[in-house]
Amino acid sequence: MDTGRLVTPPIPATLDFDAAASLLWDVIVIGAGPAGASAAAQLAAAGRSVLLIERKAFPRYKVCGGCLNSHAVALLARRGIDAELRAAGARPLTALHLHSGGRRAVLALPPGLAITRATLDAVLVRAAIAAGCAFLPETTAGVEGEVTADAGRGVTLEQSGRTRVSARARVIVVAAGLGHQALREVASVHDVVAPHARVGVGTVAGPGVVTAGDGAVTLAVGTGGYVGVAAVEDGRVQLAAALDPAYLKASGGATAAVRGLLASARMTLAPDEGGLTWLGTVPLSRRVSAPVSHRIFVVGDAVGYVEPFTGEGMAWALAAADALVPVALAAIQTWDHRVERQWQLFCHTLVTRHQRRCRAVTRVLRYPAVAHLMVAALSRHPGLADVLMPGLTGNTTHEERA
Ligand SMILES: Cc1cc2nc3c(=O)[nH]c(=O)nc-3n(C[C@H](O)[C@H](O)[C@H](O)COP(=O)(O)OP(=O)(O)OC[C@H]3O[C@@H](n4cnc5c(N)ncnc54)[C@H](O)[C@@H]3O)c2cc1C
């Protein structure tokens, strides 16, 4: 992905690779997305020694619609970060234009923000560093399988062209997102991928490539998947889609697949200067077999993900990071079955329940005729939006022919 257009300057490491291995950290956080950077910032602010490890150089692109719902904005506001996002060019979001089968429902949204993940995640990592967290980018981390009797657990760190080193921590937070490999040595934990899972694709296009409504995110639902379009910083446009792999293949690539979905909403995708660079994801619908293991907490998408339709992924990642902080602080003192049970319970009651609803909505969307009916129904019965997309929407205001 061309990050040359990004306004955010690179974030250098705050410590040397070898220095990371010389300490027993209170917490090592693997992955600097919203879940990892938020947990790291709050644990460092509580006076703990925290090492935040990220595989990529930051800022980096990540496949995402970049829409923060009102819940996510409120969580960031509690930490004083929302104003910084607005200053960095985040665009207000107050409406959802939902297209299907030639119909459009215009839904009011509780106020959210649209921003590229390059900018958002950079702001969150800078906040973590400001709170006292050590940051090690361009480093791939993997939790060691062996459990020793001492006060910590090992994490292997790898950087291109360097000899692997092993760092230790009292608590390890795995916030490494979808399809990560950070737990591949840990026999008790593995990923369960849903059959027929969709894949994600995304890009940031220049102004004029596609028309994004002012203050609105457009969601075009069609046969083969759906695509979200939102204006972000500097008039650029964020495109992110969840696609059936067969539809993606039959379309001949991401540009054609997304163009097809947009056409069903009577929207056009003009050729971007130099072409569009798409990034893809692993199959989206998946969950981890256990969100906790000895001295390990799993958080964010790494616990499980369904599909982006309900637009709650980042809000959940941020909320889960907040919930993890007191549990991790207790676990730094003493790792016992109580902290394990606490985290298991949180993941089960909140994450699993939420994902069940999200799974039901995305199952319905697989049937285009039902999706068309849903859009028609949403426009007539505003209350349904709260049931179908409670993380995202407010009230339906009116229906129009697209
Ligand atoms: C197509 C699509 C559209 C979406 N649109 C929206 C939207 O509009 N709004 C919304 O709220 N959510 C949306 N989401 C969901 C959202 O992107 C995720 O829920 C969110 O990013 C989860 O945050 P996270 O911190 O758990 O993981 P991530 O953001 O994935 O961060 C994980 C980080 O870990 C790093 N990492 C991975 N492995 C390692 C390793 N071994 N060592 C070190 N680092 C590692 C990765 O490089 C990455 O930076 C969308 C998702 C998709 C696929």
Q: Is the dihedral of CA 263, 265, 267, 269 positive or negative?
A: negative
Which residue has the CA at smallest separation from atom 12 of ligand 1?
313
The chain-wide mean pLDDT, for the chain, equals 89
The helix or strand, by DSSP H or E, that contains position 26, with its residue range, turns out to be strand 24-30
Contact 399, 379 (CB under 8 A): yes
Whether residue 303 has pLDDT greater than 60: yes
How many whole angstroms separate alpha carbon 94 and alpha carbon 111? 5
Q: Matching CATH topology for 17-62+119-194+285-359 and 91-113+196-283+374-401?
A: no
Distances (CA, A) of 384 to 81, 395, 397: 32, 9, 12
Percent helix, strand and coil across the chain, each rounded to 5? 35, 25, 40
**Structure confidence at residue 213 as a pLDDT band (50, 70, 90):** confident
Domain ranges for the chain: 17-62+119-194+285-359, 91-113+196-283+374-401
User: Closest by alpha carbon to 189, among 298, 84, 284?
Assistant: 298
Average pLDDT estimate for 76-96: 95
Q: Is the CB–ligand 1 distance for residue 67 below 6 Å? A: yes
Q: For residue 347, give the amino acid letter.
A: C
* CATH number, domain 91-113+196-283+374-401: 3.30.9
| DSSP β-ladder status, 296-298 and 165-174 | parallel
How many whole angstroms separate alpha carbon 335 and alpha carbon 31? 22
CA of residue 36 to ligand 1 center, whole Å = 10
Which residue has the CA at smallest separation from atom 5 of ligand 1?
65
Q: For residue 393, give the amino acid letter.
A: T
**Structure confidence at residue 396 as a pLDDT band (50, 70, 90):** very low
Question: Which range in 71-75, 104-108, 264-268 is most confidently predicted, on average pLDDT?
Answer: 71-75
Whether residue 401 has pLDDT greater than 50: no
* Cα–Cα–Cα angle for 258, 262, 263, rounded to 5 degrees: 115
Q: Minimum mean pLDDT among 53-62, 87-96, 148-157, 286-295: which range?
A: 148-157
CA of residue 62 to ligand 1 center, whole Å = 7
Whether residue 361 has pLDDT greater than 90: no
Q: Which fold has domain 17-62+119-194+285-359?
A: FAD/NAD(P)-binding domain (3.50.50)
Q: Is the CB–ligand 1 distance for residue 33 below 6 Å? A: yes
The helix or strand, by DSSP H or E, that contains position 355, with its residue range, turns out to be helix 353-365
CA of residue 314 to ligand 1 center, whole Å = 8
φ, ψ dihedrals at 177, nearest 5°: 75, -165
User: Closest by alpha carbon to 56, among 139, 129, 144?
Assistant: 139
Whether residue 111 has pLDDT greater than 80: yes
E strands, 101-215, are: 103-114, 134-136, 140-143, 153-158, 165-174, 191-193, 199-205
Tell me the percentage of the chain whose pLDDT exceeds 90: 67
Q: Is the CB–ligand 1 distance for residue 39 below 6 Å? A: no
Neighbours of 116 (CB within 10 A): 28
How many whole angstroms separate alpha carbon 49 and alpha carbon 27? 6
How many whole angstroms separate alpha carbon 335 and alpha carbon 295? 7
Q: What is the pLDDT of residue 377?
A: 78
Q: Is the CB–ligand 1 distance for residue 35 below 6 Å? A: yes
The helix or strand, by DSSP H or E, that contains position 218, with its residue range, turns out to be strand 216-222
Helix axes 353-365, 368-380, angle to 10 degrees: 110
Q: What is the pLDDT of residue 280?
A: 96
CA of residue 382 to ligand 1 center, whole Å = 30
Average pLDDT estimate for 158-163: 91
Q: Residue 263: which residues within 8 A CB-CB, separation 6 or more?
A: none
pLDDT in tens, 262-275: 998 888 888 766 67
How many whole angstroms separate alpha carbon 232 and alpha carbon 291? 33
Q: What is the pLDDT of residue 3?
A: 40
Q: Is the CB–ligand 1 distance for residue 156 below 6 Å? A: no
How many whole angstroms separate alpha carbon 248 and alpha carbon 253? 6
Site to probe by mutation for ligand 1, drawn from 55, 61, 261, 288 as the one with most ligand atoms within 8 Å of Cβ, is 55
Which residue has the CA at smallest separation from atom 53 of ligand 1?
200
Site to probe by mutation for ligand 1, drawn from 221, 261, 314, 354 as the one with most ligand atoms within 8 Å of Cβ, is 314
Q: What is the pLDDT of residue 148?
A: 82
Distances (CA, A) of 196 to 187, 223, 260: 26, 14, 21
Q: Is the CB–ligand 1 distance for residue 176 below 6 Å? A: yes
Which residue has the CA at smallest separation from atom 18 of ligand 1?
313
How many whole angstroms separate alpha carbon 357 and alpha carbon 347? 15
Q: What is the pLDDT of residue 371?
A: 77
How many whole angstroms separate alpha carbon 75 and alpha carbon 85? 13
Q: What is the pLDDT of residue 230?
A: 96
User: Closest by alpha carbon to 95, among 76, 112, 77?
Assistant: 112
Q: Is the CB–ligand 1 distance for residue 36 below 6 Å? A: yes
Average pLDDT estimate for 31-43: 98
How many whole angstroms separate alpha carbon 238 and alpha carbon 368? 24
Q: Is the CB–ligand 1 distance for residue 237 below 6 Å? A: no
Site to probe by mutation for ligand 1, drawn from 38, 64, 184 as the one with most ligand atoms within 8 Å of Cβ, is 64
